[in-house]
A and B are shown apart, each in its own frame.
Chain A
């Protein structure tokens, strides 16, 4: 492989990582607060359409991005409503959200299949883009990728350096204790879920605004599920999520490149790669968690458990 090709592949990996990273960070926020949200796939699908639609109508990619985030928050608000107010099973509610979301996105999007939109274009960072190797890989991307560089820092800061984050984590570990400390676990959970939904929404928006610039059916293509898996792979830590997302972005870029080059390998086998890699990543993280001891890699203790009313 020539150096140019390697740089191009790595740049594509960074781009492919961005939507998965946003979604993984969103799911980390939600799970840290104790709510398992398996609806990410559906949320991303809806947000991708919302972002596309608003961008198409207004011509503004920023408004589209915002719409994607808000749509994500709204969808996750639905999950929050079903699980927190109506005490529904989090696994099933999440699955329902995925079925509903993917369906709604396809339903609303069908008339727009093939339509293009402005979206985000490549915008090189002055000076930094000139750095050999790193410049083309990291700094000749679109604005959303740069936002993606900030997002893990922001989520890490929120979770580990603010009292809100402390409250969120407490709610995810032991809601009763959080309540005893004078916090409102229900409100904190709702915040975690909906803020996480906003991030998932950004991930969905990335797909239609920056990844393709065009509307097609099934844009999310399992990325939401990959994100759910990466949360485990990342041990619920924002910076490890970056590693996971890059790994997937890399495999997707590699696979697309191979397809474009026209190899003899059937495309169905190439398309399997990300999904097999997801399973492999889980196996790897399970083995690592085993070695690192329970606490280093454990899920929040109250993850998936609803807060029951007293009496």
Chain B
């Protein structure tokens, strides 16, 4: 009988990690291909269409970039709280509140020029999103309410707040009954980059600038500030943090507030640049994709940027797939969930090694309990 022995890796896998990620990705793609096949579409051909759609043309690459903007911003916010084991999964609702906050300013002060109006909109969005994020933080700190569930429930509530406004008091009388606000004034819309730069940049807009700003702030905060180090130390858990007299409560408020502000900013950029108004279609699940991104990227800023682009391109590819093969849009969700599951499983190999133990090898005498530990698994 051959037994598998699992041990913690002594040293990091280095570039081998890339192999692990690629294998996990390949497995996820394989599963998706099989799924396409099972529903009567070409498996490999379908994946080819997906890649063609995501990366095949310059405009598809630009489209990827446009969709990566909100995902990146939300993901930074989510990653911030994941770093200290605060499970903020409320980016979707904070995104909605951000869109609402920005819309409130845009509709109240329609005549202002963009240098005044846009910053006000961003501010309102970050405030609204940040406050929405502070609700689970306060509930957790004051009452010990689990932030996973409260932040998730606030997603549903946030989206319904948006719906309420758009179907009700903010509905444009000239919209023929469609649930949407009036179009923002020219000062309330983020311009596209192409015309200003004299290049053909498709739908790419100046909101892109928020990404390097937020990314650098995230990196500097974590690696150059005292608070950032303390945040990393809080990742060991609340009891350790409190024992070490770290400002745990303050950090919980900070990560959820800042995360909410980032998601809110993403929401304001999305409705100002992409739609030019507020309507329910602004909610397409970027807040959930952001969670996938944050974890795939292991919470590091550069990988978050890269992974945001990757998952944004996945969305673009799936849109093409939808058109060409009449695939339901939910296929994108399957891919995201599948990739995440495969990668979490694969990350095991980053931290552990598995080796075979032959039966003739001297087996150390073990206590009865040890035989039940997962380290020793029986293989056929």
Q: Flag if B160 contacts A268 (CB, 8 Å).
A: yes
Whether A154 sits at the interface, judged by CB under 8 Å, is no
A179 and B168 CA atoms in complex are apart in Å by: 59
Residues of B within 8 A of A38 (CB): 148
Q: Flag if B148 contacts A103 (CB, 8 Å).
A: no
Whether B292 sits at the interface, judged by CB under 8 Å, is yes
**A89 partner, pick from B144, B334, B344, beta carbons under 8 A:** B344
A82 and B338 CA atoms in complex are apart in Å by: 12
Residues of A within 8 A of B327 (CB): 107
Q: Flag if A266 contacts B337 (CB, 8 Å).
A: no
Q: Flag if A87 contacts B348 (CB, 8 Å).
A: yes
Residues of B within 8 A of A212 (CB): none
Indicate with 1 or 0, residue by residue over B320-336, a CB within 8 angstroms of chain A CB atoms.
00000001111111111
Taking the nearest CB of chain B, how far is it from the CB of A298, in angstroms?
Answer: 11
A311 and B331 CA atoms in complex are apart in Å by: 41
Whether A4 sits at the interface, judged by CB under 8 Å, is no
Q: Flag if A101 contacts B143 (CB, 8 Å).
A: no
Whether A225 sits at the interface, judged by CB under 8 Å, is yes
Whether A260 sits at the interface, judged by CB under 8 Å, is no
Q: Flag if B330 contacts A104 (CB, 8 Å).
A: yes
Whether B230 sits at the interface, judged by CB under 8 Å, is no
Q: Flag if A106 contacts B348 (CB, 8 Å).
A: no
Whether B157 sits at the interface, judged by CB under 8 Å, is yes
Q: Flag if B368 contacts A180 (CB, 8 Å).
A: yes
Residues of A within 8 A of B338 (CB): 100
Q: Flag if A283 contacts B139 (CB, 8 Å).
A: yes
Taking the nearest CB of chain B, how far is it from the CB of A125, in angstroms?
Answer: 36
Taking the nearest CB of chain B, how far is it from the CB of A307, in angstroms?
Answer: 5
Residues of B within 8 A of A225 (CB): 149, 152-153
Q: Flag if B163 contacts A268 (CB, 8 Å).
A: yes
Q: Flag if A96 contacts B370 (CB, 8 Å).
A: no
A87 and B341 CA atoms in complex are apart in Å by: 12
**A309 partner, pick from B7, B164, B368, beta carbons under 8 A:** B7
B190-214 with Cβ < 8 A to chain A: none
Interface residue count for B (Cβ, 8 Å)? 63
Whether B380 sits at the interface, judged by CB under 8 Å, is no
Whether B59 sits at the interface, judged by CB under 8 Å, is no
Residues of B within 8 A of A42 (CB): 337
Residues of A within 8 A of B346 (CB): 86
Residues of B within 8 A of A186 (CB): 372, 374
A287 and B338 CA atoms in complex are apart in Å by: 38
A85 and B139 CA atoms in complex are apart in Å by: 34
Residues of A within 8 A of B167 (CB): 266, 268
Residues of B within 8 A of A309 (CB): 6-8, 352, 373-376
Given contacts A179-B372, A229-B149, A279-B145, contact A100 B345 (CB under 8 A): no
Q: Flag if B288 contacts A99 (CB, 8 Å).
A: yes
Q: Flag if A282 contacts B150 (CB, 8 Å).
A: yes
Which of A5-13, A201-209, A270-278 lies at the binding interface? A270-278
Whether B282 sits at the interface, judged by CB under 8 Å, is no
A70-122 with Cβ < 8 A to chain B: 78, 81-82, 84-89, 91-93, 95-108, 110
Whether A150 sits at the interface, judged by CB under 8 Å, is no
Q: Flag if B144 contacts A269 (CB, 8 Å).
A: no
Whether A228 sits at the interface, judged by CB under 8 Å, is yes
Whether A135 sits at the interface, judged by CB under 8 Å, is no
Residues of A within 8 A of B340 (CB): 92, 95-96, 99-100
**A100 partner, pick from B154, B168, B329, B337, beta carbons under 8 A:** B337
Residues of B within 8 A of A308 (CB): 373-374
Whether A293 sits at the interface, judged by CB under 8 Å, is no
Residues of B within 8 A of A166 (CB): none
Whether B72 sits at the interface, judged by CB under 8 Å, is no
Residues of B within 8 A of A99 (CB): 288, 292, 333, 336-337, 340
Can you list 17 A-B pairs with a CB-CB distance of less than 8 A? A87-B351, A87-B374, A93-B341, A93-B344, A97-B341, A100-B336, A100-B337, A103-B334, A103-B336, A179-B370, A228-B148, A268-B163, A275-B153, A275-B154, A282-B149, A287-B143, A311-B5
Interface set of B (CB-CB < 8 Å, partner A): 5-8, 35, 39, 87, 89, 139, 143-146, 148-150, 152-154, 156-157, 160-161, 163-164, 167-168, 288, 291-292, 295, 327-338, 340-341, 344-348, 351-352, 367-377
| Across the A-B interface, the 6 shortest Cβ-Cβ residue pairs | A100-B337, A103-B333, A309-B375, A106-B330, A99-B337, A88-B344
